[in-house]
């Protein structure tokens, strides 16, 4: 596991913009990493239904991002929505939920479709890299982990990071950082709503 993580962490030599992006979003990253949802997930205390609702809410997010950035590929390291749906279907074998009651992503979807392609990339950063890094810790803790499995993690991580870096420069990096923080906030809000659910609300 340690060697695997080291391999992932050293996959990419970030340029000055990637470094700035990471540095300036560290605080918000560390806050979401410590969200009670993940604390419970890592300690094995998160009920399956909450994780399934999480996958249900993320699935359209992944497919929307893919429509813009990975339309011409079937490479499963980039097209992640299939893995998310596969995990969800597996959870659904043992849980029976009316998911329509737990749709927390409509504000996000509306916002995402209206923003520029450049700012849409913040989602690629926040979601794809979350699975490629943090996901490697989480995958041991969930029943179904296709979402965190990659065929060639090191190579795909590098390519996703290059795609993000492609458009960054001195004049737009600050705006990109601001939008990345907003993207983290959206994801955090979805977690808040799921975390607040109780068995009684099912
Ligand atoms: C328990 C949950 C999590 C853990 C343990 C975790 C852990 C990590 C680790 C170890 C890294 C690599 C840091 C480095 O290069 O020094 C990382 C990077 C990252 N994580 Fe997380 N993470 C978690 C949750 C999340 C979540 C929920 C998101 C987004 C919604 C996220 C987004 C990111 C991003 C965007 C990066 C790349 C940062 C960069 O290098 O620019 N992580 N995470």
pLDDT tens digit string along 157-198? 999 999 999 999 999 999 999 999 999 999 999 999 999 998
Task: Kindly state whether residue 12 falls inside one of the protein's structural domains.
Answer: no
Question: Rounded to whole angstroms, how far apart are CA atoms 19 and 16?
Answer: 5
How far, in Å, is the centroid of ligand 1 from the Cα of 136? 10
Question: Rounded to whole angstroms, how far apart are CA atoms 149 and 140?
Answer: 11
Give the pTM: 0.95
Task: Kindly state whether residue 18 falls inside one of the protein's structural domains.
Answer: no
Task: Kindly state whether residue 23 falls inside one of the protein's structural domains.
Answer: no
pLDDT at residue 173, as a whole number: 98
How far, in Å, is the centroid of ligand 1 from the Cα of 98? 31
Candidate of 1, 28, 33, 84 to mutate for ligand 1, largest count of ligand atoms within 8 Å of Cβ: 33
Task: Kindly state whether residue 74 falls inside one of the protein's structural domains.
Answer: yes
Return the DSSP state at 143.
S
Please work out whether the CB of residue 186 comes within 6 Å of at least one atom of ligand 1: no
42 CB burial (10 A radius; 0-12, 13-18, 19+): middle
How far, in Å, is the centroid of ligand 1 from the Cα of 130? 5
Please work out whether the CB of residue 52 comes within 6 Å of at least one atom of ligand 1: no
The tens digit of pLDDT for each residue in 85-102 reads 999 999 999 999 999 999
pLDDT at residue 199, as a whole number: 85
Residue-number span of the structural domain to which 165 is assigned: 47-201
The tens digit of pLDDT for each residue in 99-118 reads 999 999 999 999 999 999 99
Task: Kindly state whether residue 42 falls inside one of the protein's structural domains.
Answer: no
pLDDT at residue 1, as a whole number: 66
Please work out whether the CB of residue 11 comes within 6 Å of at least one atom of ligand 1: no
pLDDT confidence tier of residue 200, bands split at 50, 70 and 90: confident
Q: How many domains is the chain built from?
A: 1
Q: Which atom of ligand 1 is least distant from the CA of 191?
A: 27
């Amino acid at each position: 596991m340690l060697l695997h993580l080291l391999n992932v962490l050293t996959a990419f030599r970030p340029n000055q913009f990637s470094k700035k992006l990471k540095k300036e979003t560290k605080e918000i990253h560390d806050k979401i990493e410590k969200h009670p949802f993940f604390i419970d997930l890592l300690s094995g205390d998160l009920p399956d239904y909450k994780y399934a609702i999480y996958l249900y809410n993320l699935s359209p997010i992944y497919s929307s991002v893919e429509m813009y950035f990975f339309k011409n590929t079937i490479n499963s390291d980039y097209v992640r929505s299939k893995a998310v749906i596969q995990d969800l279907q597996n959870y659904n074998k043992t849980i029976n939920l009316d998911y329509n009651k737990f749709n927390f992503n409509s504000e996000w979807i509306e916002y995402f479709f209206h923003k520029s392609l450049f700012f849409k990339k913040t989602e690629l950063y926040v979601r794809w890299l979350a699975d490629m890094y943090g996901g490697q810790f989480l995958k041991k803790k969930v029943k179904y982990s296709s979402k965190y499995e990659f065929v060639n993690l090191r190579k795909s991580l590098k390519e996703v990071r290059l795609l993000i870096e492609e458009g960054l420069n001195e004049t737009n990096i600050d705006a990109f950082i601001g939008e990345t923080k907003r993207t983290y906030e959206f994801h955090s809000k979805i977690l808040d709503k799921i975390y607040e659910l109780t068995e009684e609300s099912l």
